[in-house]
Structure 1
Amino acid sequence: MWKNKNVWILLAGEFIAGLGLWLGIIGNLEFMQEKVPSDFLKSVILAVGLLAGIAVGPLAGQITDQANKKTVMLISGFTRSISVVFMLIAIETGSVWWMIVFLICIQISAAFYFPALQAAIPLVAEEKDLLQLNGVYMNVSTLSRILGTALAGIFLVIMSLSMLYITSLIAYLGLFILTWFLTIDETKQEQETKDGAPAKAGFKEVFPIIKGLPIVFMTLVMTLIPLLFIGGFNLMVINISELQDSSTIKSWIYTAEGVTFILGTLFVKKMEEKTSPYKILFGCSFVIGFSQLLLYLADIPVLSVLAFAIFGFAVGCFFPTAATIFQTKVPKEFHGRFFSFRNMLDRLIFQVVLLVTGFLLDVIGLQLMTVLFGSLSIVMTTLFYTKYRQLRSTNSLKVEASS
């Protein structure tokens, strides 16, 4: 795997793009803290961009399956670079509306880029290396997040907000250049899907595939659990900072969550050798619920950082496992549409959680909200686990009866 230049290009590209992404995210939070007083309005603004990404999702899935993955990544990467210009206009004019244009453009580009990326990974690596590659890829993403948030904090002190976004633009252009050097062999997939190919069928063709693969459907449903936490992540960080009257706590939270996420992705490979992927998913979901409950004590700095550290480790184990199941169980000719659908589903749930988080933060406050979310996560996980045990029991009975 490590002798494959495409693997190195994807990892280096993710690191560079991650720096740009997190410089932009911190910039967005800084801009909104100055211009938007309400948490709910902040969540509405962020949700507008997500809605645009959902709207183009079906088209993105079809194009990803029909077109060259590298071409899709290049065009979306270029669009993402251009979108930064709108944010520079927003800063210059002080207009939140230009920021909304920026968010719409960058989310539309992401709606094309990430399904193409996920579909490209199993094309450049062997199946036996996928879990390791997914873990390493997420580690690189997390390292870029840690470094990006740290640099953003430093840059906001020594440079203007506009220069922060220009730095982000440079990172995006770096990713665009790196993508040119990718070599993805899609000839085998094209041969399998020509002449009335599934890849050329409609977006809805992916739903029977999901329904016919219980392991994929269950994993897809399980990914909703961490989204209850992730959806309001940035708003919760802002509120914890205000609750503790500390700006530095933001960096501590992002760093702690990032470091433990890396540890989780490294540890999950050993877990996978000793237990089933579903036990990993259910166990991590319970831990995520516990970390949310722990934020009831968010006014205590050590415990707030600990809660995010626990969450980071849990999702570090959860997401590589889920990604590997999707990449290996879903037929490759459906990868574009499947990952586009998953991206749409994630964005939709993210948007709902974002709006609900903003509303609840204004109405009942951070601590009661986290108790509500934590309890919901644990109840949902218990119900999913019970259903999973029933399905296993039913399948075992069928096997015994047939034998």
Structure 2
Amino acid sequence: MWKNRNIWIILTGEMIAGLGLWTGIIGNLEFMQEKIPSDFVKALIMSAGLLAGIIAGPLAGKIIDQSKKKTVLLISGAGRMLSVIFMLIAISTGSVWWMVAFMVSIQLSATFYFPALQATIPLVVKDDDLLTMNGWHMNVATISRVLGTALAGIMLVYWSLMSLYWISMIAYGALLLFTMMLRIDEGEGREAKVKSVGNKGGFMEVFPVLKAYPAVGMTLIMTLIPLLFIGSFNLIVINISEIQDSASIKGLIYTFEGVAFMVGTFAVKYISKKWRTTTILFSFATMVAVAEFMLFFADSIVITLSAFAVLGFALGCFFPTAMVIFQKQMPKEYHGRFFSFRNMLERVMFQVVLLTAGAFLDIIGLQSMVIIFGLISLSMTAIFFVQMKKRNIILEQPKQIAAKSI
């Protein structure tokens, strides 16, 4: 696996781009804290970009399946670079509207980039190495998040807010260069097959496939459970910082969650040898709810950091496992549309969670909100488990079931 140059290009590009992404996100939070007092208004601004991604999602899926993945990655990567210009203007003018333009443009780029990347990985990695590759890819993204947030914190002390976005632009430019070096053999026969399937229906063609592969559909629904926490993550971090009257707690939260996530992605490779896929997904979905309940004690530094460590470990085990199910069981000719549909579904959930969390934080406060979110997460986990048993859905592939029954 490690002799494959495409893997090194993808991972190195992810590391560099992640540094740019997270320095920019910390810059966004800093800019909003300065300009916008209401959590609900902050949520509205964050959701503007997500809405653009939802609208563009069906088109993105069709284009990714009909086009060369590398071409889509290059064009969307260039769009990321250009979007940073809007944020530079926002800082220069102090205008929130330019920030909205930045949010919309960068989310539009992400709507094409991430599904194309997810559809590319199975083309450059063997099936047996997908779990390892997904784990490493998420690890690299997490390392870049930890380093990016730490770098942004230091830069905000010594440099201007605008410097964070110059770093972002340089990083996106480096990603573009790495993407140019990718060699993806998509195969003329497979591409012709994709086009002959008939793409006029867009996402409508994904639904019959989901019915034919119920394990994929169940896993897709399961991935919505962690989004209650992930969707409100930045708003929660801001509120904890205000509750504890500490700016440094932001960096510590990202660090603890990120390190625990990396530990989880390594651990799941060994856990998967002893646990069934079903056990992994439902156990770690429950752990996400536990982390939400722990934040009731958000005034305690120790419990707060422990909660984010529990969250990170749970997500580090949950998402690589779910991604393998998607990549192995969903036919490759539908990968572009499926991953775009998944991203669009997540964006819809992010919209709902962001606006709900913003309103809850203004009305009832963080501690009441996390109890409600924890109860919802536990209830959803229980409902999905009952439905899976009732419909006799098996998440494991046949060969996995046979191996574990010996």
Quickly say closer, same or farther: Cα 1:393–1:189, change in 2 above 3 A.
closer
Give the distance between the partners of 1:47 and 1:302, measured in 2 at CA. Answer: 31
Give the drift of 1:212.
Answer: 1.5
- Aligned partner letter, 1:101: A
Does the 8 Å CA contact 2:66/2:195 hold for their aligned counterparts?
no
Could you say which residue in structure 2 is the equivalent of 1:116? Answer: 116
Give the distance between the partners of 2:229 and 2:171, measured in 1 at CA. Answer: 28
Matched, 1:358 2:358: yes
The equivalences for 1:350-389 within 5 A come to 350-389=350-389
- Aligned partner letter, 2:273: E
Give the drift of 1:194.
Answer: 5.9
The equivalences for 1:234-383 within 5 A come to 234-383=234-383
Deviates more, 1:192-201 or 1:131-140: 192-201
The equivalences for 1:8-27 within 5 A come to 8-27=8-27
- Aligned partner letter, 1:368: S
Does the 8 Å CA contact 1:65/1:200 hold for their aligned counterparts?
no
Could you say which residue in structure 1 is the equivalent of 2:69? Answer: 69
Quickly say closer, same or farther: Cα 1:316–1:375, change in 2 above 3 A.
same
Could you say which residue in structure 2 is the equivalent of 1:398? Answer: none
> Cα deviation per residue 1:327-373 (whole Å; 9 max; x = unaligned)?
00000000000000000001110111011000000000000000000
Total equivalences in the alignment: 395
Give the drift of 1:387.
Answer: 1.5
> Cα deviation per residue 1:123-150 (whole Å; 9 max; x = unaligned)?
0000000000000000000000000000
Quickly say closer, same or farther: Cα 1:385–1:189, change in 2 above 3 A.
farther
> Cα deviation per residue 1:282-336 (whole Å; 9 max; x = unaligned)?
0001110011001000001110110010000000000000111000000000000
Deviates more, 1:232-241 or 1:269-278: 269-278
Does the 8 Å CA contact 1:296/1:370 hold for their aligned counterparts?
yes
Question: Helix, strand or coil: the match of 1:392?
Answer: coil
- Aligned partner letter, 2:337: R
- Aligned partner letter, 2:25: I
Quickly say closer, same or farther: Cα 1:393–1:37, change in 2 above 3 A.
closer
Two-structure CA RMSD over aligned residues (Å): 1.4
Quickly say closer, same or farther: Cα 1:197–1:267, change in 2 above 3 A.
same
Give the drift of 1:394.
Answer: 11
Give the drift of 1:80.
Answer: 0.4
Could you say which residue in structure 2 is the equivalent of 1:169? Answer: 169
TM-score between the two structures when normalised by the length of structure 1: 0.96
Give the distance between the partners of 1:139 and 1:174, measured in 2 at CA. Answer: 19
Give the distance between the partners of 2:136 and 2:192, measured in 1 at CA. Answer: 30
Does the 8 Å CA contact 2:73/2:112 hold for their aligned counterparts?
yes
Could you say which residue in structure 1 is the equivalent of 2:137? Answer: 137
Does the 8 Å CA contact 2:66/2:194 hold for their aligned counterparts?
no
The equivalences for 1:42-191 within 5 A come to 42-187=42-187, 190=190
Give the drift of 1:254.
Answer: 0.5
Matched, 1:29 2:29: yes
Does the 8 Å CA contact 1:123/1:186 hold for their aligned counterparts?
yes
Give the distance between the partners of 2:389 and 2:301, measured in 1 at CA. Answer: 39
Could you say which residue in structure 2 is the equivalent of 1:207? Answer: 207
Does the 8 Å CA contact 1:115/1:343 hold for their aligned counterparts?
yes
Give the distance between the partners of 1:194 and 1:18, measured in 2 at CA. Answer: 31
Give the distance between the partners of 1:127 and 1:145, measured in 2 at CA. Answer: 27
> Cα deviation per residue 1:159-184 (whole Å; 9 max; x = unaligned)?
11111110111000000111000000
Give the drift of 1:211.
Answer: 1.7
Does the 8 Å CA contact 2:267/2:317 hold for their aligned counterparts?
yes
Question: Helix, strand or coil: the match of 2:196?
Answer: coil
Deviates more, 1:383-392 or 1:154-163: 383-392
Quickly say closer, same or farther: Cα 1:86–1:279, change in 2 above 3 A.
same
Does the 8 Å CA contact 1:193/1:199 hold for their aligned counterparts?
no
Percent identical = 59
Q: Which runs of 5+ in 2 are unaligned?
A: 396-406
Could you say which residue in structure 2 is the equivalent of 1:400? Answer: none
Give the distance between the partners of 1:379 and 1:58, measured in 2 at CA. Answer: 30
Does the 8 Å CA contact 1:60/1:112 hold for their aligned counterparts?
yes
